[in-house]
Amino acid sequence: MPSENYERDFYAWANEQAALLRSRDWARADIEHIALEIESLGKTEKRALINRLAVLLAQLLIWRFQPGLRGTSRRLTIEEQRYKVAYHVDDNPSLKALRGEAITTAYRYALVDAERETGLGDNVFPAVCPWTYGEIMDEAFWTQE
């Protein structure tokens, strides 16, 4: 029996469904919407990985292609994003299988960000990500020329 709160008051619906599940009241639980929300949580984790990789890749592009913008702040942003990506993947190990796909998607976002921040044309940057996941995550990578 679907709850009216799902569309009207999601917070109330979520609390109601949690209580129903805890009490094992399967007949009143909104199973279809609960399943949809669980699937949505998985998609959220994938999007979070893509977003973190996009920030990291943009910073690496800028570091590589516009050395005049190198500095402590950018280096620390690269370091921070590497930590966040690593933690997110460690926290969600099944995302390891999606790293290639995530890098491809994230790189498209990174290209836009890098072009915006540097003012360099999109023809300056490689059309596809030139780095492997291992290189992207390598702590020494940002110092490589």
Average pLDDT over residues 50-71: 94
CA torsion angle for 30, 33, 35, 38 (degrees, to 10)?
-120
Query: What pLDDT sits at residue 128?
Result: 96
pLDDT in tens, 8-28: 888 899 899 999 999 999 999
- Looking at this protein, which amino acid is placed at residue 9? D
pLDDT confidence tier of residue 119, bands split at 50, 70 and 90: very high
- Looking at this protein, which amino acid is placed at residue 14? A
Query: What pLDDT sits at residue 1?
Result: 47
Question: What does the angle CA 65 – CA 132 – CA 109 come to, to the nearest 5 degrees?
Answer: 55
Average pLDDT over residues 33-52: 90
| Structure tokens belonging to residue 130 | 């030139």
pLDDT, the chain, mean: 91
Closest CA to 3 of 23, 27, 39, 38: 27
| Structure tokens belonging to residue 60 | 């690496």
Q: How far apart are CA 65 and CA 63, in angstroms?
A: 6
Could you tell me the end-to-end alpha-carbon distance of the chain, in angstroms, rounded to an integer?
A: 61
In percent, the amount of the chain with pLDDT more than 70 equals: 95
